[in-house]
Amino acid sequence: MADNKRVCCQPERGLVLRDVTLMAGSTCVLWGASLTVPLSGMTLLSGRNGAGKSTLLRAMLGLIPLQAGEILTHGLSPAQARQHIGYMPQSVTDAALLLPAVSHVRVAVDGVRWGLPLRLRSRREEADRLLALTGASAFAYRPLGLLSGGERQRVGLAQALAGKPDLLLLDEPLAALDQAGQERTVRLLRDLTENLGIGIVLTSHETEALSGAVTRVVQLADGGLHVRV
């Protein structure tokens, strides 16, 4: 069941862009773009290859500066919102490939907390819970470097869920999965939105796998954003 207290006490679960100009190198991703859209449920950020979808996700986290305008996520600036957001990049880390998958998740659990770290036992229990949630328990103790692309995606999703975020930003979470893996992942994402009240913004070219699961589509094209429900 959803944690009603947690959901009801949140500020408006929306994304607001005001006159945003955003560059990726010498390429203009957005030019004076404005948008207000709720972030409940699952939002698909679509656009052609190279349109700047990954750049926009990183700008929402404050990892890429804006050239003009502002972005607010749940009423917060990117720097303020970052602690409430879980992020999975398109390429899961290639660092420390000899460490088991569970170690990478434990580091994520500690990394999102302020003050003293969790006790070792608590950190292990939380990492095990997240890996079970994403269906990664079977390979939790295998070195990350020996995992398939799809298995690494599950570990990356477990890392993104560390800290119980209110919003997940997922960059191509279905890309490395076969059809069965895509279906399992979409079911998991729907469960996160419907039962835990976590909003999800994702990019994906696997639109068929997402059919019926997406709440809305935000299309990035020609320097602007356009919403389809």
Contacts (Cβ under 8 Å, ≥6 apart) of 37: 14, 15, 43, 216, 218, 227
Q: Which pLDDT score, from 0 to 100, does residue 149 have?
A: 84
Tokens of 226: 């356009």
Contacts (Cβ under 8 Å, ≥6 apart) of 85: 60, 61, 73, 165, 166, 167, 168, 169
Give the confidence band of 97 by pLDDT, cuts at 50, 70, 90: confident
Structural domains counted in the chain: 1
Q: Which pLDDT score, from 0 to 100, does residue 92 have?
A: 65
Number of Cβ within a 10 Å radius of residue 195: 11
Q: Which pLDDT score, from 0 to 100, does residue 112 have?
A: 52
Q: Provide the domain limits for residue 105.
A: 4-228
Q: Report pLDDT digits (tens) over 136-156.
A: 999 999 999 999 888 888 899
Please report, for the domain that includes residue 155, its CATH number: 3.40.50.300
SS3 27: strand
- Give the global pTM: 0.87
